[in-house]
Amino acid sequence: MKKGRMSAWQLLVCCGLLAAVTLFLCLLFSLRKKEDGFGEFCQRLFVREMTANTIGLHYSLAHPERFGIKEYLVTLPIYEPGSELRASDGFMALWAEFQALPTESLSEEDQYACDCLKRELLLSIALADFPYYGDPLSPVQGMQGELPILLSEYAFREAKDVEEYLMLLSQTGEYFSSLLQYETEKCEAGLSPSAESLLQAAEECDTIVTLSQLEQGQSLFQTSFQERLDGLSGAASLSPEEKQAFLSRNNAILAGIVLPAFQELKAGLIKLSRTAPKNPVALSSLPQGREYYRLLLASVTGSSKTPEEVRSLLERTLVQETEAIRQLTASYPGCLASLKTGSYEDLGFSDASVILSDLEARMKGIYPDLPEQCSVTVKSVSPGLQSFCAPAFYLTSPLDEVTDNVIYVNPAATPSGLELYVTLAHEGYPGHLYQNAYSAANLLSLPNNRLRQLTGCGGYLEGWALYVEQYAYDDASKLLISQGRAADAVCVQIAKHERSLRLCLCALFDLMIHYDGAEIKDLTDVLAAFGAKQDADLAPLYAYICAAPCNYMKYYLGYLELLKLKEEARQLWAESYDDLRFHEFFLTWGPADFVSLENKLKEDLADNFRLPGKQLKDDKTDESQPIGRKSKIDKK
């Protein structure tokens, strides 16, 4: 079938962060029918976004036909040479149609969606003036590492899904060739990443799939394919002959297309590295790089703060976190022994499924109930991906099927004890998994407004996950106190502030490197001001931040914006405030940028606070009732 053509911004949308769709709009080049109403515009926009690439569609919707999507091309987002330079044309065409929409009589929910879309569209138009500043082959969450994960978890619900999967797999060669074309154009434009960055991406290609793995049947692409075929049951079950035919086709595509694709991508990256800059490349060193960083910061985090305002906020937070640690250690000198031995890290259990159950049970009275029961499967990251993957991560479930979820734990970097506890809170309950399930149920209650199902930003998602992670430290302290380990509980609080302090420093370093042009020595000076060791090797961190601008900001600035919004709610609602009420507000009106959330908060004061489709009662939650249904948790 003919393959869809998309710009490089669309490639970034497909980088595994499928919920972060700030830059999705560049594919919309010709949304006609201006006489249509708002609902038709939303549906047309929704269908265009969902059908632009099949992986995105499959991860977003389990049953696209229920959303008016009955036919679509099975395609990976192939980059067309030079299309990056034409991205702004699509944005401007959409902007013209958006401005022509009749918005005078929109409902509150529709107007809110318009406000969210307007901000994203304006930022996307501005970012389109910076072609080739993105990097879909970054060693940090680049497609050479993300695509195998997305393909290995591509759900098989019926035989049709297997056919579409194999069609996508067969496009891997053309897809990687298009990525390499983009990277070549990026280098020719004088915006090349560093040689080290290119070589790291090349090294990743060399380990994900190998001839030895294929010959032994141990490739991630083989083992996961077999598991998914075996999982087809009932009306979707396959005969032994059908299953063997699929296995043979999969092996043929892997040997004839996928393996050569990774090898050619590796060779191309190595070739580009020979003329690339030796040192890590910060945005501040590029033409208009500081302006691009300012726009990227707003787009990724959802914050309206300028870099200068962010710097002041981070510096104040550094002082606060440092003082909190000083006060805890001074007030509880008995905890110093536990800090040295690390005994506080042992919470009494280490099994991921047990931890998830404990975290879910502790949500009672603090977080709103999920309308449906969810199951969680904990899987291990494939050996070929372990050296490049995070300690744990959650793959977003489809909007219309959030009951089955997967959390990956990386054996090569598996945290234990306290670290595993807070990591699973971040990824599972009440973090990404819970937030995704709650948002999906809420958005499905707005069938005439598809815009809310498209808009959002990484700062909202990761800010929430870091926020509940910090909550989990408090839960861990309570657990230790219940075990009679008061000193260890204090140590957990110190660890909580140390975690916040580290992320705050990394976010500040991100701004210093990409906005101020800071070098490693400047970062060392900052650490020295906080009493850190002078011999700390900051070169790996410096290179990481150069390869992933605003990545730390997405987490930490998103977290600080959430705390700011929470404090504003506390002041506005006064005696009517409680955490459950704020969490319900935040989850119901998101995912969204913090500008839109703050405006909505100010509209909904204590006396008339309202959630879409329902009135929030003023009475407290009956704590005799569970806040969330019990999950079925399987471990692999």
Q: Domain ranges for the chain, please list them.
A: 1-131, 136-277, 299-622+628-635
What tokens appear for 74 in the block?
A: 């099975």
Band the pLDDT of 28: cuts 50, 70, 90: very low
pLDDT in tens, 494-549: 999 999 999 999 999 999 999 999 999 999 999 988 776 666 789 999 999 999 99
Higher pLDDT, 400 or 617: 400
Contact 599, 578 (CB under 8 A): no
What tokens appear for 586 in the block?
A: 């935040």
**End-to-end CA gap in the chain:** 37
d(C-alpha 397, C-alpha 635), whole Å: 18
What tokens appear for 197 in the block?
A: 């960055």
Residue 5 belongs to what H/E stretch?
strand 5-6
User: Across 126-236, where does the E strand assignment appear?
Assistant: none
Q: Which pLDDT does position 163 carry in this prediction? A: 98
The rounded Cα 90 to chain-centroid distance in angstroms is: 25
d(C-alpha 579, C-alpha 406), whole Å: 28
| Rg for the chain, CA atoms, rounded | 24
Residue 561: Cβ within 10 Å count: 25
Report the range of poorest mean pLDDT among 26-40, 351-365, 407-421.
26-40
Average pLDDT over residues 282-288: 97
Residues forming beta bridges with residue 615, ordered by sequence position: 610
User: Across 218-344, where does the E strand assignment appear?
Assistant: none
Tokens 């405006």 map to which residue?
599
Q: Which pLDDT does position 470 carry in this prediction? A: 98
Band the pLDDT of 37: cuts 50, 70, 90: confident
Give 235-241 contacts, CB < 8 A, sequence gap 24+: 235/158, 236/156, 236/157, 236/158, 236/159, 238/159
Cα–Cα nearest to 66, from 452, 401, 435, 371: 401
In percent, the amount of the chain with pLDDT more than 70 equals 88
Residues forming beta bridges with residue 632, ordered by sequence position: 375
- 372: helix, strand or coil: coil
The set of residues, in sequence order, having a beta carbon less than 8 Å from that of 575 and lying 6+ positions away, is none
The two beta strands, 404-409 and 610-611, are unpaired
The two beta strands, 632-635 and 375-380, are parallel
Say which DSSP state 448 is in: T
Residue 106 belongs to what H/E stretch?
none
Question: Is the pLDDT score of 179 beyond 70?
Answer: yes
Contact 91, 125 (CB under 8 A): yes
Cα–Cα nearest to 38, from 126, 123, 98, 127: 98
Residue 288: Cβ within 10 Å count: 12
Measured in degrees and rounded to the nearest 5, phi and psi for residue 633 equal -115, 120
Say which DSSP state 591 is in: S
Give 216-219 contacts, CB < 8 A, sequence gap 24+: 219/254, 219/384
Cα–Cα nearest to 370, from 355, 359, 360, 358: 360
Band the pLDDT of 327: cuts 50, 70, 90: very high
Q: Which pLDDT does position 36 carry in this prediction? A: 52
Report the range of poorest mean pLDDT among 28-42, 315-329, 396-410.
28-42
Higher pLDDT, 371 or 632: 371
